[in-house]
Amino acid sequence: MVDIKWIVFDADNTLWDVEYLYDEARDEFCKYTLSLLDRLNENPRGNVDLDLLEKAQRRRDLQLYKTHSYSSARFARSFEDTLMFFLQYPPPEAVIHVRHIAQDVFEKPVRLVDNLEQILDRLSGKYCLGIITAGERWVQEKRMAQFHLRDRFKEILIVEKKTADVFKAFCVSHDIEPKSCWVVGDSIRSDVLPAIEAGLRAIHVQASNWIAEHEELPADIHSVKVLREILEILA
């Protein structure tokens, strides 16, 4: 095999932040739902509060992951189901509104991580750069279309789920020795573990992400607090 050194990045919560969009939508949903309950006199004892609503939505969202995976429909469904849990017969316009709050997450532009252009400039002289990102295709394609630095990457792949086989196939298709390829991502479950299972090297970027992505980080894997710290390892 040709010994070409690659760095393959995750996208969401690695090259750009998205978790804050979910947090903002969740906060708006909880405030709206609490206001609706009060307005309809469905919370006379005040037992329902913002914290209870948030926990209920997060729990339902995690349950729906088993059937809906990364689908944008999952997040909207979790809002609707949570609303109907606390209010059995909500006004139809309320259901439409909470679903709109959730769906708007996938329409808003994302926020690139700090110093991303400088980081890529430093690395591109030494490595081939790639992206392997998982999620609903139309969402990922929309974000990629808005990503003005996408021409810095030699290969961009959107997959339904990242597995060891996905990383192995990437190496085969580009004639890459796995040990000469680094994977950089925020998810231990979706980035780090399948990469090392496939024989690649991995760097974990500590970022706020969804609980479904949480796993214990292997002891011998690099972990950085912010993306620019990978330069201390790779540049």
d(Cα 136, Cα 204) in Å, to the nearest integer?
23
DSSP string, 128-152: EEEEEEES-HHHHHHHHHH-TTGGG
d(Cα 162, Cα 134) in Å, to the nearest integer?
6
Using DSSP, state whether 5 is helix, strand or coil. coil
Give the class (CATH, top level) of 6-17+110-234: alpha beta
pLDDT at 216: 81
pLDDT at 208: 76
CA 113 to chain centre: 13
- Identity at 229, one-letter amino acid code: E
185 - beta bridge partners?
204
Residue-by-residue pLDDT tens, the chain, 235 positions: 446 699 999 999 999 999 999 999 999 999 999 999 999 999 988 899 999 999 999 999 999 988 888 788 999 999 999 999 999 899 999 999 999 999 999 999 999 999 999 999 999 989 999 999 998 999 999 999 999 999 999 999 999 999 999 999 999 999 999 999 999 999 999 999 999 999 999 999 998 766 555 678 888 899 999 999 999 999 7
Helix (H) / strand (E) containing 8: strand 6-9
Residue spans of the domains in the chain: they are 6-17+110-234, 19-106
pLDDT at 4: 63
pLDDT at 210: 60
Q: Report yes or no: 7 and 123 within 8 Å, Cβ to Cβ.
A: yes
Would you give the DSSP letter of residue 64?
A: H
The closest alpha carbon to 196, from 3, 5, 8, 4, belongs to: 8
